[in-house]
Chain A
Amino acid sequence: MLKVIDSAVPVACWSCSVAHNDVTLFCPHCSKIQPPPGGDYFSVFGLEERLDLDLAALEHEFHRLSRKVHPDRFARSGDNERQWSLADTALLNDAYRTLKDPLHRTEYLLKLRGAEIGEEHSGKDRKDPSRVPADLLEEVFELNMQLEEMRTAHKMGEEDPDLQASLEQAKRKFDGLEQEVDQDLRKQWQLWDNGDAAARKAAEKTMVALLDRRRYLSNLVRDVTETLGAE
């Protein structure tokens, strides 16, 4: 996570020593590139924390800032400038990658707000039955049986058109459920972006649950796709 620096505290420019508020990529006095500014990914783009973003404007700003801070622009500069250009560009890229993706953006904002979110990359607990959304228990149980059958059939070199069709149908159903979650998330974005503190708190709680469900569903869809794809 990013270091949190109180932006009211002035920092001295490494080059000209004139103090400036630590929210800028370039020293207002001598124009030299500065170490990565404090603050969150939103502030990199000069944005307030919000979930419904104008992606075209975000891309435009990403390109504009890239032109200014990218290491290609500092290939002939001194060690300090090269180092800060690298660090600033890494921050810019990390921020853009996170904010342009609706799920990553939501997850990031929720984490900023102190929410506990399951680790996406651990992957190890996705078979854990306690994590299956309650309304899907039965279907997931059924699906896992079919997936197992399908894998066995593949191993034996057999084809089972009925099973294939049934899995394809299941995949469509779970795809559809994923899209429902995405729509629900968007509704929560509006509530969060436009709500007061209490509304935000409620939206955050809902979104944590939605993200859990979303992650569960996409793992499931991935499993089905992989099994169907393996010949």
Chain B
Amino acid sequence: MQGDAPVVIPGVDGSNLVPSVVALDPMPADGGRPTVTVGNSARKTLIESPERVIYSVKRLMGRGLEEIQDELKLFPFRLADDVEAGEVPRIQLGELRFTPPEISAYILRQLKRNAERFFGAPVTQAVITVPAYFNDAQRQATKDAGRMAGLEVLRLVNEPTAAALAYGLDRANVGTIAVYDFGGGTFDISILKLRDGIFEVQSTNGDTHLGGDDIDNLLLTIALDEIYAEHGVDLRLHPGAVQALRKAAIEAKIRLSSEQFASFDIELPNGDRYQREIPRGVFELLIEPVLARTAAPCKQALTDAGITADQVDEVVLVGGSTRIPAVRSLVDDLFRLAARGKKPHTELNPDEVVALGAAVQADILAGASKSTEEMLLLDVTPLSLGIEALGGTVARIIQRNSTIPASATEHFTTGVDGQTNVAIHVVQGERELAADCRSLARFDLKGIPPMTAGLPRIEVRFLIDADGILQVSAREQRSGLAAEIEVKPTYGLTDEQVETMILDSFDHAEEDFAKRLLIEARNEAESILSKVGGVRTNPAWGQLTGEEQSAIQAAVTHLASVNQGDDMSAIREATLALDKATGRLAELMMDAAVSTALRGKTMTAAGEQLEEAVTAPHAMAPAEFK
């Protein structure tokens, strides 16, 4: 938060987005553990050695082996060959294997580091957003990932709700909002009622396996089939080429949001070229079935909220896929916007709005700021919670769209004399039969005092907490003994497993953290010093006034001297000062090199745009150092 407004922290590469691409770097020659690269820099590896890269891991979070078969067909995910049914699937990346929460933890750790860089202080707590329609296991897996990354997860916030928070800061105070969140891998719709700072979710619905990825795969499949038919080349046998084609498909998709045509031009391994033009009309016909899958959840959410489309005051669009014009016209139809003289809200960047909302929620949790003091988010559980009853039917104990935290108490007894344990099967979903719902966990109530059948009265309390995660407690009422509960999550890691997967423990130690920051600061200082040293031969140097030259010289001398010491903030301040002092020099160099369009940039920016060796290290907004 900067003042009252949340801001997005950019990464080392200056970009506000860290794509969820994770690459395993080559094995070091000494046989040590290879490092992991995250984000834009991992993208390169996707084409060079796709077997070392994974993306869209969100689709695999909290899911069992049998559930991810469809994903495996469409994505270049390679399961480790020794995974057994009932286990958390592991993904083969090069020589190593990772569970989805571990992959996710690498992404979170990158974000944590970006934030630490920005603040110049350790970051230990986080608010993490999840698709609203995530079930218990998917939420738990996300929380596990946070723990592995060395973060205490203060709250899981549903993405559409977070978006509403981001918009709500400066918006009118009463009304009904629909948030249509169509992202890369998931679709959510949430209906909220806003009143005096209280954001009360009325209903939510969605599909955790529907998103931009599906559109990419559609284009990809068509291209692959055409290439096979026209050129006799089965590109599927060349994973690197498939990824290059996927990249082209994504670019075509993006272009079609602003233009009427996009084209493929790909060189095939046999030297042929695959060239193909796609008019927007054809693209829209193609993706229509994918987009149509968002309509039913919207209608259900309206029904569950007990309102009609006409009663929705405002619609907020979230997620990159809402840039597609066909998506916008579908939303317009669903909520009769144009007919009512309304427009959806798109003022905030659809890729960033969720993160901005998470920052608002973090501010609420911190209780530190006036601007969020009056705000409170009341969210709901997206799926009904039930227990398997006799005959495999489901007895619903907490209905979907109940405000969380929510609880229910059920009583159980024994069926046989002297029975000391009772098994309970908890499921999540809307179907009548337990077999059709998602198995959440099996509980074994143990330690029931031996009594005549039917006499024990075991009270089990189910509580869905503010993160949407189930907690269970039980007590035998006649003896007053708390029954021991053994939870076997159907899909998920045990606490012990999570413990062993915690990424490099040094992230926790303050001392090591300070050391790391110091090393980083020194590297940055040395890098700018060597670059400034080199530019003195540049003709632009001669164009500087004597004063400017000596100012740079003084900044260089100062930086070189503090860089001998251990004062991290002094080094970073001096680095910043030098970067500032070289501002006009950078400008002059650019004037000489390229058009005047780049005027006004510092050395850092100029270097990036010129792709010269003049990059200053801190391509991000400067933090305040103490």
Contacts and interface: CB of A to CB of B under 8 A. Distances in A.
Given A75-B365, A121-B397, A124-B391, A90 B405 contact: yes
Nearest to B193: A59
Interface in B21-72: none
Contacts of A49: none
Interface stretch (A37-45, A66-74, A143-151): A66-74
A225 to B, nearest CB: 11
B424 interface: no
Q: Binding site of B, secondary structure by majority: helix, strand, loop or mixed?
A: strand
Interface in B333-372: 361, 364-367
A63 B376 CA distance: 9
Interface string B395-422: 1110000111111110000000000000
Interface string A119-146: 1011110000000000000000000000
B367 A76 contact: yes
Contacts of B389: 122
Contacts of B198: 63, 66-67
B224 interface: no
Given A76-B365, A90-B463, A122-B395, A63 B195 contact: yes
Interface string A86-120: 11011101101100000000000000000000010
A198 interface: no
Given A66-B198, A121-B396, A122-B389, A94 B407 contact: yes
B412 to A, nearest CB: 14
B463 A86 contact: yes
B432 interface: yes
B466 A71 contact: yes
B277 interface: no
A1 interface: yes
Given A86-B466, A90-B407, A75 B155 contact: yes
Contact of B409 (A1, A87, A124): A1
A231 to B, nearest CB: 13
Contacts of A96: 403
A39 B544 CA distance: 81
Nearest to B362: A75
B406 A90 contact: yes
Contacts of B84: none
B374 to A, nearest CB: 8
A94 to B, nearest CB: 6
A119 B198 CA distance: 34
Contact of B405 (A76, A89, A123): A89
A93 B406 contact: yes
B309 interface: no
A202 B407 CA distance: 32
A93 B402 contact: yes
Contacts of B406: 90, 93-94, 97
Interface string B183-210: 0000000000001101010000000000
Q: Is the interface of A mostly helix, strand, loop or mixed?
A: helix
A66 B463 contact: no
Contacts of A123: 393, 432
A75 B393 contact: no
Nearest to B374: A67
B272 interface: no
A124 B393 contact: yes
Give the bracket for the number of chain A residues in contact with chain B: 20 to 34
Contacts of A97: 402-403, 406
B154 interface: yes
Contacts of A89: 405, 466
Interface string A31-66: 000000000000000000000000000000001001
A30 B447 CA distance: 38
B287 interface: no
Contacts of B567: none
Nearest to A121: B396
B87 interface: no
A70 to B, nearest CB: 6
B405 A67 contact: no
B465 interface: yes
B405 A71 contact: yes
A146 to B, nearest CB: 22
A75 B364 CA distance: 9
B164 to A, nearest CB: 15
Contacts of B376: 63, 66-67, 70, 72
Contact of A91 (B195, B200, B407, B465): B407
Contact of A72 (B397, B409, B466): B466
A121 B404 CA distance: 20
B266 interface: no
Contacts of B405: 71, 86, 89-90, 93
A35 to B, nearest CB: 13
B598 interface: no
Contacts of A124: 391, 393
B386 to A, nearest CB: 8
Contacts of B404: 93
Contacts of A91: 407
Contacts of A90: 405-407, 463
Interface string B94-109: 0000000000000000
A71 B409 CA distance: 21
Nearest to B375: A72
B378 interface: yes
**Most chain A beta-carbon neighbours within 10 Å: one of B154, B155, B403, B432:** B403
A91 B407 CA distance: 7
Contact of B465 (A86, A121, A122): A86
Nearest to A91: B407
B377 interface: yes
A94 B399 CA distance: 11
A70 B367 CA distance: 12
A63 B391 CA distance: 41
A91 B403 CA distance: 11
A124 B395 CA distance: 10
A71 B468 CA distance: 13
Interface string B121-143: 00000000000000000000000
A75 B366 contact: yes
Contacts of A66: 198, 376, 378
A139 to B, nearest CB: 25
Q: Which of A76, A91, A93, A123 has the most CB of B within 10 A?
A: A93
23 contacts: A63-B200, A63-B376, A66-B198, A71-B405, A71-B466, A72-B155, A72-B361, A72-B364, A72-B377, A76-B366, A86-B405, A86-B466, A87-B407, A89-B466, A90-B406, A91-B407, A93-B406, A94-B408, A119-B395, A121-B386, A122-B389, A122-B395, A124-B393
- Ordered nearest first, which 7 A-B pairs have the shortest CB separation? A75-B365, A90-B405, A90-B407, A93-B403, A71-B466, A121-B396, A89-B405
Interface of A: 1, 63, 66-67, 70-73, 75-76, 86-87, 89-91, 93-94, 96-97, 119, 121-124
Given A75-B367, A121-B397, 5 more contacts: A63-B376, A71-B466, A72-B361, A94-B406, A122-B389
